[in-house]
Amino acid sequence: MKNLPCILLLLGFFLSAQAQVTELKNEHPILGSINGFTLYDYEMKDFGAYSFCDVNGEDYIIEGQISYYYYECDDNIDPKLILNRFQEIGDSLHANMYGDGKSQLYMILQTNNRRIYVDLFAMDFYYTLNIVERGELKSEIKAENLLKDLNDIGKAVLYFNFKRHECELTSDCKEIIEMIVKALQSEPAIGISIDAYTDNIGRSDENLELSRKRAETLYNELVKQGIDAQRMVFNGYGEENPIADNKIVMGRAFNNRIELVKK
């Protein structure tokens, strides 16, 4: 029984260390937390929809991995100090930020192939973070690389970061389209099949139709840019042939792709 106090002390130290490890593990890897605050609640959904607010105060829906954090401190603190601390983080990450300047801060940033949406609400002794993360990949914008892939392996994989359930080519796609046009104009003998794929979120029949529409949208844009329609065909394959794990954010980003296949 002499060793019982030592055993209890070691057990207490072990449990405390385990709690610290668990809390540290739950900290957001980019945003972290504020000194003096303790994480009391944490939830994560691998995929879901969240109502976010734009700079004009209008709500819109974004989808992706959703994390919720609830922090408290022992003493009262001016909520503006909390907002200022996260604004410093946002500035360092070149984030787009807006809010009421009193208790609410919205932040949108791009890092590590992810677009991150942050909804921060602060009061005098706590703050909450709702974070939505979308996987977004940037294609290599060089015509010579695209032609090399077509000639060496028979296809080139491109990422347009379509909004979910949409097939519209955004202004962010301009460079990719210009690169494809330049490549095809430099080698007029090459024909291609535009093959679009999706992740497995939603109904498979709807994903199949969505992928076909995305392929057709790119086809029409290339024709509009002067590429001979006879050189191209388009197909949609939906959830078929995933190249990454659909259970994670970046896996779904990889699977939402368009492949240009040499014919």
Domain of 249, CATH number, reads 3.30.1330.60
- The kind and range of the H/E element at 258 are strand 258-262
Quick one: tokens of 174? 């301009």
Q: Residues of the chain with pLDDT > 70: what percent?
A: 90
Domain boundary among 117, 135, 153: 135
Q: What is the pLDDT of residues 215-231, one digit of tens each?
A: 999 999 999 999 999 99
Structural domain ending residue among the three candidates 135, 153, 188:
135
CA separation for the pair 24, 5 (Å, rounded): 28
Residues 128, 41 contacting (CB under 8 angstroms): no
Q: Is the pTM of this model over 0.85?
A: no
Query: What digits encode the pLDDT tens for the residues 49-68?
Result: 899 999 999 998 888 999 99
Torsion, Cα of 205, 209, 215, 219 (10° steps): 160
Q: Residue 116 domain-assigned?
A: yes
Instruction: Write out the two tokens for 195.
Output: 């093959």
Q: Is residue 20 part of a domain?
A: no
- Secondary structure (3-state) at 24: helix
